[in-house]
């Protein structure tokens, strides 16, 4: 066993060996690291800008796919529009409802009218049907049958005649709306059978009978009946229609009485009003009707009748009680042709066939 060399000994203590840790060289005048504290060895650096990134370019494959999709959609839309442009336009259209040229040709042939007239009939058949529904205007089957007979000499055997008749009636109703009209009902209680100068002497007026007494009793009955009906209407015990029917069924003044051939209770139409037919030819009756609002009825009033046998020498006497009711008032809205054009436009009408 060899002797190891002895380590040098410091006068202040043992010297660390190389295995105990690195030796620290301390120069004179330097501050040892463990006494340096937080004093930085260098000044802080200023804040640095973020690093510049290279621009990102879109994926070229994705861009190509998007462009192809756009081109395909554009081509599809263009093709569809071209297809539509090549389709023949309908003869006319009302809203979304189309009238084909074949329909017009068939209507024209069946009714023996020009195609431009046929297309207007087919258009108005739709337009005016919508109009009467919206305005709640009715017309009777009897009116249509009468118009069919006027057109063709008999009731409609083919569809085009029925359509023409209906459209004619509805155009007339539209015309009535253009010039103003009133529709309603009359309750009529006659009592003039024993008036002076009767056209037909009543069977009760036998020789020696007191005509004035018979006339008085006739009027007293009419007075009681109309006052009773007026009171029932006022307290709403009867509707106007029920009261009208009651008078029509009355055995003394109704439809099956001695007054059957006289003016009776019933409705009056717009045509009656415009053309001054029936009771509406009398100015006193028209004034009463014109004074009423929609769904309003009048107080009973007496109408005088002419009992003279000489036209140039009228003799007016009290002849009947009347109660008038107005159901509907048509406003004066302008010329009939303009109203028809405006009504077609209202329902989105386009006529392509001229």
Q: What is the pLDDT of residue 194?
A: 79
Query: Cα(253)–Cα(247) distance, rounded to whole angstroms?
Result: 7
Q: Which of 41-45, 65-69, 99-103 has the highest mean pLDDT?
A: 99-103
Q: What is the pLDDT of residue 295?
A: 93
Structure confidence at residue 8 as a pLDDT band (50, 70, 90): very low
Q: Is 164 exposed, middle or buried, given 0-12, 13-18 or 19+ CB atoms closer than 10 A? A: buried
pTM: 0.50
Residue 28 has pLDDT above 50, yes or no: no
Q: What is the pLDDT of residue 82?
A: 66
Q: What is the pLDDT of residue 276?
A: 87
Residue 290 has pLDDT above 90, yes or no: yes
Between the CA of residue 175 and those of 44, 125, 142, 169, 269, what are the distances in Å?
99, 15, 20, 10, 14
Residue 143 has pLDDT above 70, yes or no: yes
In 3D space, the residue among 271, 54, 23 whose CA is nearest the CA of residue 143 turns out to be 271
Q: What is the pLDDT of residue 7?
A: 46
Low-confidence winner among 78-87, 207-216, 241-250, 325-334 (lowest mean pLDDT) = 78-87
Tens digit of each residue's pLDDT (9 = 90 or more) over 187-212: 999 998 877 655 556 667 666 678 78
Q: Where are the alpha helices (DSSP H) in 207-251?
A: 211-234, 240-249
Q: What is the pLDDT of residue 296?
A: 96
Query: Cα(255)–Cα(265) distance, rounded to whole angstroms?
Result: 9
Share of the chain above pLDDT 70, in %: 75
Between 191 and 155, residue with greater pLDDT:
191
């Amino acid at each position: 066993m060899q002797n190891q060399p002895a380590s040098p000994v410091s006068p202040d203590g043992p010297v660390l060996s190389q295995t105990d840790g690195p030796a620290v060289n301390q120069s004179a005048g330097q501050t040892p690291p463990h006494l340096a504290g937080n004093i930085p060895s260098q000044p802080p650096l200023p804040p640095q800008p973020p690093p510049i990134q290279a621009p990102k370019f879109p994926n070229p494959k994705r861009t190509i796919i998007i462009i192809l999709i756009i081109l395909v959609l554009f081509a599809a839309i263009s093709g569809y529009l071209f297809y539509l442009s090549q389709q023949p336009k309908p003869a006319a259209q009302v809203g979304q409802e189309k009238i084909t040229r074949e329909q017009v040709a068939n209507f024209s042939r069946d009714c023996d009218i020009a195609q431009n007239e046929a297309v207007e009939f087919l258009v108005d058949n739709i337009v005016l049907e919508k109009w009467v529904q919206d305005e709640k205007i009715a017309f009777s089957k009897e009116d249509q049958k009468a118009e069919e007979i006027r057109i063709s000499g008999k009731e409609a055997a083919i569809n085009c005649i029925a359509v023409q008749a209906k459209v004619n009636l509805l155009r007339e109703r539209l015309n009535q709306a253009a010039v103003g009209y009133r529709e309603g009902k009359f309750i009529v209680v006659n009592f003039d059978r024993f008036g002076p100068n009767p056209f037909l002497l009543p069977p009760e007026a036998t020789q020696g009978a007191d005509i004035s007494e018979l006339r008085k009793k006739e009027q007293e009955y009419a007075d009681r009946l109309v006052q009773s009906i007026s009171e029932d209407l006022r307290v709403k015990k009867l509707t106007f229609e029920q009261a009208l029917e009651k008078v029509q069924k009355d055995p003394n003044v109704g439809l099956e009485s001695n007054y059957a051939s006289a003016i009776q209770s019933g409705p009056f139409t717009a045509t009656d009003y415009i053309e001054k037919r029936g009771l509406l030819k009398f100015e006193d009756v028209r004034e009463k009707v014109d004074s009423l609002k929609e769904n309003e009825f009048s107080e009973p009033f007496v109408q005088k009748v002419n009992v003279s046998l000489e036209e140039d020498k009228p003799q007016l006497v009290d002849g009947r009680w009347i109660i008038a009711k107005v159901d509907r008032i048509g406003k004066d809205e302008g010329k009939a042709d303009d109203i028809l054009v405006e009504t077609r436009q209202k329902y989105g009408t386009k006529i392509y066939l001229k």
